[in-house]
Amino acid sequence: MNIIECDERRHAEAILNILNEVIATSTALYDYQPRTREMMTTWFEAKRKGNYPVLGAEDSTGQLLGFASYGAFRAWPAYKYSVEHSIYVDARFRGRGVGRVLLQQIIETARSKEYHVLVGGIDAANEPSIALHEGLGFTHCATIRQVGFKFGRWLDLSFYQLIFPTPLRPLDG
């Protein structure tokens, strides 16, 4: 498995397929409608503007197995040292360690860019994702009950965080 920086031209379609499968079949993403190619263009542009990574895991043939990214946790300036990440793995490759490798890489990327907190919002019933995060040092910090509604039921959203000792000299403003 190779970790690469995803390129819109090369990876947008594969990322779109992964996201749309997750939307249609799970509560890992609290969305109802499939994403479009135009939405992917906007998404990649936002990642570029924010200097946020889009990392992918590819097999030896260049097939995208999954991807991970992060972006602003909240839009206000005082949150500038916190980011929220997302990891999605193609259904055919789940349970094979792809998510773990991607999460490890996102952790290292956030740490190297001197963020202080990496946040993951996880459906409270998603036990594999919770176990993955806890196994890599994330701690549960909150659960918002019945915050989402999908597939005819209320969903609880749990937040997990990993705190880094960075930045060494945080600044206001």
Label residue 11 by pLDDT band (50, 70, 90): very high
Task: Say what the pLDDT of residue 34 is.
Answer: 97
Does residue 169 form part of some domain? no
Mean pLDDT score, 94-106: 97
Does residue 87 form part of some domain? yes
Mean pLDDT score, 145-149: 98
Does residue 153 form part of some domain? yes
Q: How far apart are CA 37 and CA 96, in angstroms?
A: 28
Q: How many domains does the chain have?
A: 1
Q: Which residue has the tokens 């999954």?
A: 66
E-only strand ranges, the chain: 2-5, 54-58, 64-72, 82-89, 117-123, 139-150, 153-163
